Amino acid sequence: MTIFQFPSDFKWGTATASYQIEGATKEDGRGISIWDTFAKTPGKVFNGDNGDVACDSYHRYEEDIALMKELGIKTYRFSVAWPRIIPDGDGEINQKGLDFYHRFVDKLIENDIEPFCTLYHWDLPQALQDIGGWENRRTVDAFVKYSEVMFREFGGKIKYWLTFNEPWCIAFLSNFIGAHAPGNTDLQVSLNVGHGILLAHGKSVQKFRELGIDGKIGIAPNMEWSVPYSKNEADQAAADRNIAWFADWFLDPVFKGTYPQFMLDCFEAAGAKPNIQPGDMETICQPIDHLGLNYYTMSVVRSNPGGGILQLEPLDMGLVRTDIGWPVESRGLYEALHYLQKYGDIDIYITENGACINDGVENGEVKDFRRISYLQQHIAQVHRAISDGINLKGYMAWSMMDNYEWAEGYRMRFGLVHVDYRSLVRTPKESFYWYQNVIRNNWLETKD
């Protein structure tokens, strides 16, 4: 038996996102988002599932917060639905939207749970997509206006902020691969979108500083860690490109004010480059207070000149996979954390980590021991990184509850709490009680 003791101020938490749990998509003045549109487009989402009801957390948030209190978390990462605050993205403010998030945040604070707010977790107002979305600088300015509304309303009450969740998913998954909303499949569009969200991030941080908000702000990239299939240079370069696709492409502009040249060359070879205007990179490169890191899996890649824009191919090395098909390899989290040290000794939070394990309820229980195994392996790597001196301040399990897993709809379950989507009954899983113990002890026990 090994005991890994965590720092006394370590922030144990969980995470969710507005479109994935709230439901009430037509209530209290909420506008339409690109995910409402995408989900209703035939063939885009498994089973045609959409977020109209989801976990109904818009109405059941008090029950959800009671479960968070029982779990014992110190912080809860949630996102705000921009279409609830400014329904058409750039026009009138919807007071009922602000009122909901005030009720919600007040209830968290009443239960000694620190609100950790993501401003943008993919639910762009459709009216802004209709004018070109993140490719249009009017959307960038609309985001700054939305951010300012949120900073003025919640500054001080909310002390931990993130501008964007998973820039790679917003730019590449949603506009090059096309698997997420709005579903474009054009590399130049994805670079334009990526540049737009980086501009919006930088301007929002400038506004945060200008207003003198009492709090900290950052951004939350997702990283699919990659290792080369062999020691040869071509394979190592392929792994470097895959890592940079998720991380450096966004974090170099934020921390250094430049895109990584080897990736500019890679995209230019595919016929695309970011549309950088004078002053853009200085705007993007604003000092931030913390980094979120979302980590799920890693890949083994080798060079393949015919392997798409990154000229690589991922290899199936026979690792155990979760029910969504992602290989389980916790050392990738440790290595990704060390990789991020090149951006300096900044506070880091694991803002998402978890496993898709689709076990159901049997006799009132969910025996998701595979999720416990995944969490144990990854939290052990978190401890290892802290022991190495990495400034890791917290860990938020994805997710507090089963929810709408985007294009996978409701068939993929990441929650510590099971949700019956017909009755909306919540059932804490075995992993909920295991994590509750880790939090209560502030240590991790491993069997070895």
Size of the site for ligand JSK (CB under 6 A): 15
Q: Which is nearer to ligand JSK, 312 or 439 (CB)?
A: 312
Window contacting ligand JSK (CB under 6 A); options: 126-134, 136-144, 173-181, 279-287: 173-181
> According to the binding rule CB under 6 A, does residue 357 interact with ligand JSK?
no
Residues 6+ apart with CB under 8 A from 263: 241, 244, 245, 248, 249
Asked if 114 and 160 count as a contact pair (C-beta separation under 8 A), the reply is yes
Nearest to 105 by CA among 72, 71, 61: 61
Site for ligand JSK in 11-30 (CB under 6 A): 17, 20
How far apart are CB 382 and ligand JSK at their closest, in Å? Answer: 18
Site string for ligand JSK, 40-79 (x = CB under 6 A): ----------------------------------------
Asked if 430 and 418 count as a contact pair (C-beta separation under 8 A), the reply is no
How far apart are CB 44 and ligand JSK at their closest, in Å? Answer: 13
Site for ligand JSK in 290-319 (CB under 6 A): 294, 296
Helix, strand and coil percent figures for the chain, each rounded to 5: 45, 20, 35
Q: Which of 65, 119, 149, 173 binds ligand JSK (CB under 6 A)?
A: 173
Q: Which is nearer to ligand JSK, 207 or 302 (CB)?
A: 302
Q: Which is nearer to ligand JSK, 129 or 399 (CB)?
A: 399
Q: Which of 224, 240, 252, 280 binds ligand JSK (CB under 6 A)?
A: 224
Asked if 74 and 115 count as a contact pair (C-beta separation under 8 A), the reply is no
CA distance 402 to 86: 27
Number of residues assigned to the chain: 448
Site string for ligand JSK, 393-412 (x = CB under 6 A): -----x------xx------
The string of DSSP letters for 67-120 reads HHHHHT-SEEEEE--HHHHSTTSSS---HHHHHHHHHHHHHHHHTT-EEEEEEE
Cα of 405 vs its chain's centroid, Å = 12
Residues that are catalytic? 166, 352
> According to the binding rule CB under 6 A, does residue 147 interact with ligand JSK?
no
How far apart are CB 45 and ligand JSK at their closest, in Å? Answer: 13
Residues 6+ apart with CB under 8 A from 331: 298, 381
How far apart are CB 270 and ligand JSK at their closest, in Å? Answer: 15
Q: Which of 222, 303, 351, 353 binds ligand JSK (CB under 6 A)?
A: 222
Q: Which is nearer to ligand JSK, 131 or 177 (CB)?
A: 177
CA distance 435 to 237: 38
How far apart are CB 178 and ligand JSK at their closest, in Å? Answer: 9
Burial 154-166 (b: 16+ CB within 10 A, else e): bbebbbbbbbbbb
Q: Which is nearer to ligand JSK, 102 or 411 (CB)?
A: 411
Q: Which is nearer to ligand JSK, 222 or 376 (CB)?
A: 222
Asked if 34 and 129 count as a contact pair (C-beta separation under 8 A), the reply is yes
Burial 366-403 (b: 16+ CB within 10 A, else e): bebebbbbbbbbbbbbbbbbbeeebbbbbbbbbbbbbb
Q: Which is nearer to ligand JSK, 334 or 410 (CB)?
A: 410
Interacting residue ranges for ligand JSK, rule: CB under 6 A: 17, 20, 166, 169, 173, 177, 179, 222, 224, 294, 296, 352, 398, 405-406
